Amino acid sequence: MSSAYTKGEREFLEAMVIKNTTNIPSAKDADPGPESNLSKWLRKYCKTLGYPAWILPQTKDVANLQMPPGWPDATILKPNRIIFMELKRPKGGRKSDKQNEMAILFLHLGHQIHEVKTQKRAIEIIDK
């Protein structure tokens, strides 16, 4: 079976993986602070691993982005997998009615929106 990559391309990709995995932001069991800290960390984590990620800004003014109400905070692309995450602060973070409705729609379409409150949980989902 032949590879889709040349020997040089494979060596480059392997070197990038080794280089990037040494700089992965560490995960904490509990993340103090606001949801925006988690989104900043998640953006860096995905970039380090080489996964394209679109993470909504933590602001109520997402109407300018023309996203449907309740759309998940993070969309992460992995080979043959799309991950949707709703980021919440560790204490008191609750999903809105629109977010619950979107989660039901996603399940109906065969997708899951993961509720994430910690870096540790985000890593578990991404590395799955």
Domain containing residue 24: CATH number: 3.40.1350.10
Q: 103: which residues sit within 8 A by CB, 6+ positions away?
A: 70, 86, 95, 113
Specify if 83 maps to a domain. yes
Task: Report how many domains make up the chain.
Answer: 1
Residue 2 lies in a domain: no
In a domain, 107, yes or no: yes
Residue 49 lies in a domain: yes
pLDDT of 29 above 70: no
Could you tell me which residue, 107 or 13, shows the higher pLDDT?
107
pLDDT at 21: 43
Residue-level pLDDT at 65: 67
Q: What is the pLDDT of residue 27?
A: 53
Domain span including residue 23: 7-126
Q: Is residue 32 part of a domain?
A: yes
Side chain identity, residue 95: K
- The answer as to whether 18 is a domain residue is yes
Q: Is residue 66 part of a domain?
A: yes
Residue 1 within any structural domain of the chain = no
- Using a 10 angstrom Cβ sphere, with 0-12 exposed, 13-18 middle and 19 or more buried, the burial of residue 33 is exposed
pTM to 2 decimal places = 0.71
